[in-house]
Amino acid sequence: MRPLLWALLLVVSTATLAEPRAETNEWSLNLVLVGSKRYLFEGGASARNDGGAGIGLSLTRNLNDYFAAGVEGTLAQFNYRATIAPGRGNAGASFDSHGEMESATLRAHATWNLLRGPVTPFLTAAAGVIFLDPNFATEPPANACWVYPWYGEVCGAAAPRTPLARLSYGAGAGLRFDLPDRLGFVRAFVGGEWIEIPEALSRVGYVQLRADFGVRF
């Protein structure tokens, strides 16, 4: 019971010292964990994201104590396993590959803080462009047409190497804690990121766990 009372006193005392968010700017360092997911693609190709991590930066403008908008950039990486299927006119068998997917994302984001005070739940959403580089570790067994995850059908003696640019969007919910005297803030939330891949038969996306550590000015 006593630890709970101390926690309540801490929240109350912080609330009396915290300054309004309205018409302020924020920088934050964002740490991201990427969840695992399996994807299916046209032509029999598939891939499994085995999970990974990323780091990002955000610049945000607090329009008032409740609503904020800004831009963010994130670099992430996750390991994956893939099955590449034979394409048109290819009598060969499917083969397995693996690699480390590297991604760079630039998005606009908006946040709704449900409460005015320094401790508040929030909802957030973002949309922008993501650049993907799968880094396939295995070359095809023959110079023919093969169906690759994310790319679709590619003909040649080498795996595709060109980075892809695709639409990306995300949403999440979490909790924010503002420190007094504009010393900074901490946010933690769980959400999802989805990527528009025309060749995909299942939604390409994954769960994200994210922690933001920022300053307000």
**pLDDT score of 182:** 73
Question: 166-187: per-residue pLDDT in tens?
Answer: 999 999 999 999 998 778 999 9
**pLDDT score of 5:** 47
Find, among 40, 143, 34, the residue nearest to 83 by Cα. Answer: 40
**Angle subtended at Cα 75 by Cα 170 and Cα 65, rounded to the nearest 5 degrees:** 50
**pLDDT score of 15:** 46
Structural domains in the chain, CATH included, are 2-80+100-138+161-216 (2.40.160.20)
**pLDDT score of 183:** 82
- Specify the pTM: 0.85
pLDDT of 11 above 90:
no
Where does the pLDDT of residue 63 fall: very low under 50, low under 70, confident under 90, or very high at 90 and above? very high
pLDDT of 199 above 80:
yes
How far is it between the farthest Cα atoms of the chain? 73
CB neighbours of residue 107 within 10 Å:
22
Q: Which helix (H) or strand (E) holds 20?
A: none
Token pair of 164 as six digits: 């892809």
pLDDT of 8 above 60:
no
C-alpha 152: how far from its chain's center? 23
**pLDDT score of 74:** 97
Residues in contact with 9: Cβ distance below 8 Å, sequence separation at least 6, in sequence order: none
Chain-wide mean pLDDT for the chain? 91
Q: Decide: 175 and 119 in contact? Cβ < 8 Å.
A: yes
**pLDDT score of 181:** 75
Token pair of 29 as six digits: 């360092």
Percent above pLDDT 70 for the chain: 91
Cα distance between residue 30 and residue 172, in whole Å: 14
Where does the pLDDT of residue 1 fall: very low under 50, low under 70, confident under 90, or very high at 90 and above? low
Residues in contact with 95: Cβ distance below 8 Å, sequence separation at least 6, in sequence order: 83, 84, 138, 140, 141
Tell me the mean pLDDT in the region 39-50: 94
In this structure, what are the phi and psi dihedrals at residue 169, rounded to the nearest 5 degrees? -150, 160
pLDDT of 67 above 50:
yes
Q: How far apart are the first and last CA of the chain?
A: 37
Q: Decide: 168 and 192 in contact? Cβ < 8 Å.
A: no
For 6-20, 44-58, 120-134, which range has the lowest pLDDT when averaged over its residues? 6-20
**pLDDT score of 177:** 96
Integer angstrom CA distances of residue 136 from 72, 79, 84: 28, 11, 10
Question: 70-125: per-residue pLDDT in tens?
Answer: 999 999 999 999 999 999 999 889 999 999 999 999 999 999 999 999 999 999 99
